[in-house]
Amino acid sequence: MKKIRVLVVDDSAFMRRALTQILESADEIEVVDTARDGEEGLAKALALQPDVVTLDINMPKMDGLTLLYHLVEKTKARVVMVSSLTQEGALVTLEALALGAVDFVAKPGGTVSLGIKKLAEEIIAKVRAAARARLRPAQKVKPIRTAGPPVVVPPSALKWLVVIGVSTGGPRTLEEILPYLPPDLPAGIVVVQHMPSQFTSSFAQRLDHQCQLKVREAVEGMKLEAGIVIIARGGYHLAFHQTSQGLSCHLTLKPEDALFRPSVDVTLRAAMEAYDPRRIIAVLLTGMGDDGASAMVELRRRGGYTVAESEETAIVWGMPRAAIERGGAEVVAPSYRIARIIEERVRRG
């Protein structure tokens, strides 16, 4: 069996040792070398051509984002960022994902994290997924919100609910879909992205600057309205209440045994209980695992419209593939067609 060759780049000697020990505890992973700054990391990446690079953000001589740019341009290595659970860490990590990083691991305790070994299972899983990930060129998405007053759609025009589920590779993929949805779309849109609670607010703000629709992080009681994209808050499941004023968000920790929180399966099943399934459009995008696949099958059985991203564009073809194989996808399409598919379905009624 061919091993996954990994280069670990981090300015902390402790982190280099910890990450090496974690990764080499998996039989199929080999750490071919380590580097203590960006310049050394680039030189070793060019010489060794590793399959995956784990990359710290804050380093001397050459920072992580600059090194990432060179890695994307000059190598075929997949990059997994190792960032801190702070607002600053979130902003830089989201920029890294836009530049071409496949995924990230958020350290719980700052730059030198004694808790990193608690994340061993996540680190190994993300490196495995990254090694299989599709390489795609970085794409800068410019803000395309139109000048002048926004188009306002009355809440009564909320005729559809769109639920989008996504994981690994999600931020880049969503930037290829959400900015191209028109502001007068008569649908409420909910996005369930696997992401820590410290990151989802920054993620919503980033998307808000790029989209014609308004983008907000979910809060308890927030009303679903046309023209607004709601990003599920990290650390909570997003469910819904049907009230006299319409559909509103409900943040909950239950079920506690779900593999992810937020979970696509949990949100999609909650949507089917609170809203007419025949008026729900579910979209399952790139990500490892199968979160959302079972709920897609159920929604399609109950008359909903289901779309799965095709292998052609999926960075990690895990979640959409599971939905397709189980018969949960009515339509299979590349990411660049999905905005049009959603709009056409909503307009057609």
Domain of 76, CATH number, reads 3.40.50.2300
Q: Within a domain: residue 139? A: no
> Is residue 127 located within the same domain as residue 165?
no
Q: Within a domain: residue 137? A: no
| 110 CB-near residues (< 8 Å, 6+ apart) | 84, 86
Please say if 209 is a catalytic residue: no
- The number of C-alpha atoms within 13 Å of 186 and in the hemisphere containing its C-beta is 13
Model pLDDT, residue 88: 76
> Is residue 214 located within the same domain as residue 104?
no
> Is residue 203 located within the same domain as residue 309?
yes
Q: What is the CATH number of the domain that holds 340?
A: 3.40.50.180
> Is residue 122 located within the same domain as residue 25?
yes
Q: Within a domain: residue 141? A: no
Cβ atoms < 10 Å from Cβ of 309:
30
> Is residue 227 located within the same domain as residue 123?
no
Measured distance CA(195)–CA(171) in Å, rounded: 10
Model pLDDT, residue 153: 46
Q: Within a domain: residue 187? A: yes
What's the Cα-to-Cα distance from 10 to each of 44, 89, 104, 312, rounded to whole Å? Answer: 13, 15, 14, 33
> Is residue 123 located within the same domain as residue 159?
no
* Mean pLDDT by groups of 10 residues along the chain of 349 residues: 94 92 96 97 98 93 93 96 79 92 82 69 95 75 48 60 96 95 94 94 95 96 94 97 90 94 98 96 97 98 98 96 98 97 92
Please say if 167 is a catalytic residue: yes
Count how many domains the chain has.
2
* Class of residue 70 by CB neighbours under 10 A (exposed 0-12, middle 13-18, buried 19+): middle
Residue in the structure block whose two tokens are 């300015």: 11
Annotated active-site residue in 84, 291, 310, 335: 291
Record the pTM: 0.91
DSSP 180: G
> Is residue 251 located within the same domain as residue 328?
yes
Annotated active-site residue in 11, 84, 194, 263: 194
Please say if 241 is a catalytic residue: no
> Is residue 171 located within the same domain as residue 317?
yes
Q: Within a domain: residue 149? A: no
Model pLDDT, residue 245: 82
Check: CB of residue 61 under 8 Å from CB of residue 38: yes
Model pLDDT, residue 23: 97
> Is residue 123 located within the same domain as residue 164?
no
Annotated active-site residue in 12, 84, 167, 263: 167
Residue-range definition of the domain harbouring residue 121: 4-132
